[in-house]
Structure 1
Amino acid sequence: MKLRDLGWMLLIQAIWGVNFVVVKLGLDHMPPLFFVALRFSLAALILLPFSGLPRAHLKRVIPLSFTLGVMHFTLIFTGMHYLDAATTAIAVQLQVPFAAILAAIFFKESLHWRRITGMVIAFAGIVLIAGQPRFFANPWPLASVIAAAMVWSIANVQVKMLGDEIDAVQLNGWIAILAAPQLLIVSYAFEGDHWPALTAIGWGGAFALLYQGVLVAAFSYWIWYNLMRRYPVNVVMPFMLLQPLIGAASGAFFRNEEISLAMVIGGIGILIGVAIIIIRRPGVIAPSTKTGI
């Protein structure tokens, strides 16, 4: 990999890792569903001129926009409203073993002993984390993030079924454009009308929204997709392992989040399991999608 592209790759992983803390900052100022709806609305406004409307692919892209845009982000932002950034950054990596399982079911990919070992190690890691007293007493936020990881793996199957005929950059824009109105409706139905309070989100809320809508959803995705076109999947995907490490470190540094011994051991287990799966079969994660948030 060229030195310039290596720099871009490391920058993207830093943006996505710190993003877990930024989401927590936004959730300090906005309800989770309203935050997600604004995030996709801003991204849709930015990406519409470059993506257009998927008139010829609506029947296939609308279900994906609901799975990835509405279900995944609703679950993960709702879970993060009550969960710390470090735990979320680690737990959401379960999307990789979930994706491997679904790839075996839908695409008949073989689950050799190495990948099965990776899955067992990863799931053992989350069991160790979930067994901590604070999660055992209130398991629902962590369960919501794990469910979001599962939903992402379902979206991964949907993306692969679309094939290579749809450009990844356009697909990202279409998901934002189609998910935004759905999320606005869901937010209004479950959280009420928060538009009058939009001006009261403060600088912290505004920064989190701009970070999500501009830096993550538009800028970093565009760089990521270009790198995916330029290099083999097995070269690019291992860099994804930096994201949970940066996310956990950012949570501890910026928000003074406690990282217990059980979380460290469980997190290492999850990362080892994910690494085994990605290194052996990097294509288990669709090149046209990004993990995390």
Structure 2
Amino acid sequence: MKPLDIALAVTVAVIWGVGFVLTRIALDEMSSTLLTALRFAITALPCVVLPRPKMSWTLVFAISWLLVAQFMAQTYGIEHGVPAGLTAVIVQSQALFTVAFAALFLRELPTRIQVLGIGIASCGLLLICLTVGYDFSVVAFAVLMTAPVSFAVSNLLLRQARAVPMLDLFAWIGLIAMLPLLTALFVVDGPRVTWLALSQISLAVAGCVLALGLLGTTLGYWIWGRLLRNYTAAQVVPFALLVPFIGAGASALVFDEKFGTLRLAGMVVVIAGIGVMLLSRRPPVLVEVA
């Protein structure tokens, strides 16, 4: 890869990793539902000037609502006590779910090395499960675990959008996402609570929300899609391994998060398992899925 593109890939990893910290800060002043709605609303703004992506509406709706489920779940988890750094690691476990679902539904059987990686990462998730109940509830953890699952399914669907400009696609995905998000916002928070939160938002939190929408989603996915078009997925995807390290490190610096021995071991094992899957040599089709 060219040095500039390597720098761009690292930049995206930093943006996505720090995004977990920004989410935690924003949740001090608003609900997870409102934060997710604002994030997608900002992402949808470019659709005013960008053409509709030339792909099936069914596919666009499916990807959009899966991403809504992913971001709602990870934001809900952080809102209900799951540390931002731990959330970053759990969300990146999408890699093992992606490979597993590709084998289950697309009959793209993983190699032995990939199976080993899945097993290692699964052991790490099991270690993390053993720490549930001390500082966050089982419910919060269960909801959070749906985030990597939704992420993985959307990965498989996004494979069918290779020829579609990512900026156009995610702008329209953001617009379509507003339907379920506004409905959830009306039912869960209600107009009065929503207006109160918006009217009292601080400049710091407003900056966090803008960064999540403009940088984390619009810019981040645009760069990522561009890199995947110019290089093989095997060259690009491993940079995603930086996300949990950056997320956990930034969270520890900003919030002084401390992970117990068992939980820290689980986080390291999950990342190691993902590394084995993504960095090992395997059939190109599975590289593209992960």
Output the TM-score relative to the length of structure 1. Answer: 0.90
After superposition, residues 133-152 of structure 1 pair within 5 angstroms as 134-135=133-134, 138-152=137-151
CA distance in 2, matches of 1:237, 1:14: 14
- Compare 188-197 and 49-58 and name the one that shifted more: 49-58
**What's the counterpart of residue 241 of structure 1?**
241
Q: Give the AA of the match of 1:167.
A: P
Q: Give the AA of the match of 2:251.
A: G
Q: Secondary structure at the match of 1:51?
A: coil
**CA contact under 8 A between 2:166 and 2:222: conserved in structure 1?**
no
**What's the counterpart of residue 262 of structure 1?**
262
Q: Secondary structure at the match of 2:108?
A: coil
**What's the counterpart of residue 273 of structure 2?**
273
CA gap of 1:137–1:222, structure 2 versus 1, over 3 A, is closer
**What's the counterpart of residue 188 of structure 1?**
186
CA gap of 1:199–1:123, structure 2 versus 1, over 3 A, is same
Q: Give the AA of the match of 1:219.
A: L
**What's the counterpart of residue 179 of structure 1?**
177
Cα-to-partner distance string for 1:96-123 (whole Å, 9 max, x where unaligned):
1111111002221112221111111101
Instruction: Tell me how far 1:284 sits from its aligned partner.
Output: 4.2
After superposition, residues 155-174 of structure 1 pair within 5 angstroms as 155-160=154-159, 162-174=160-172
- Compare 72-81 and 128-137 and name the one that shifted more: 128-137
**CA contact under 8 A between 1:241 and 1:275: conserved in structure 2?**
yes
CA gap of 1:55–1:13, structure 2 versus 1, over 3 A, is closer
**What's the counterpart of residue 26 of structure 1?**
26
Instruction: Tell me how far 1:58 sits from its aligned partner.
Output: 1.7
**CA contact under 8 A between 1:125 and 1:268: conserved in structure 2?**
yes
Instruction: Tell me how far 1:24 sits from its aligned partner.
Output: 0.5
**What's the counterpart of residue 207 of structure 1?**
207
**What's the counterpart of residue 100 of structure 1?**
99
CA distance in 1, matches of 2:7, 2:153: 31
**CA contact under 8 A between 2:20 and 2:88: conserved in structure 1?**
yes
Cα-to-partner distance string for 1:205-232 (whole Å, 9 max, x where unaligned):
2011111111112222222222222222
**CA contact under 8 A between 1:79 and 1:145: conserved in structure 2?**
yes
**CA contact under 8 A between 2:44 and 2:170: conserved in structure 1?**
no
Provide structure 2 residue ranges, at least 5 long, that are not aligned to the other structure. none
Instruction: Tell me how far 1:90 sits from its aligned partner.
Output: 1.0
Q: Secondary structure at the match of 1:192?
A: helix
CA distance in 1, matches of 2:50, 2:285: 25
The Cα RMSD (Å) is 2.2
CA distance in 1, matches of 2:217, 2:287: 18
Instruction: Tell me how far 1:76 sits from its aligned partner.
Output: 1.4
Instruction: Tell me how far 1:246 sits from its aligned partner.
Output: 0.4
**CA contact under 8 A between 1:237 and 1:278: conserved in structure 2?**
yes
- Compare 55-64 and 231-240 and name the one that shifted more: 55-64
CA gap of 1:27–1:128, structure 2 versus 1, over 3 A, is same
**CA contact under 8 A between 2:53 and 2:164: conserved in structure 1?**
no
**What's the counterpart of residue 88 of structure 1?**
87
Number of matched pairs: 285
Cα-to-partner distance string for 1:259-291 (whole Å, 9 max, x where unaligned):
22222211111111111111235754757xxx9
Instruction: Tell me how far 1:254 sits from its aligned partner.
Output: 0.5
Q: Give the AA of the match of 1:206.
A: A
- Compare 234-243 and 58-67 and name the one that shifted more: 58-67
CA gap of 1:10–1:267, structure 2 versus 1, over 3 A, is same
CA gap of 1:51–1:284, structure 2 versus 1, over 3 A, is farther
**CA contact under 8 A between 2:12 and 2:224: conserved in structure 1?**
yes
**CA contact under 8 A between 2:77 and 2:141: conserved in structure 1?**
yes
List structure 1 segments (4+ residues) > 6 angstroms apart after TM superposition: none
Q: Give the AA of the match of 2:173.
A: I
CA distance in 2, matches of 1:112, 1:155: 22
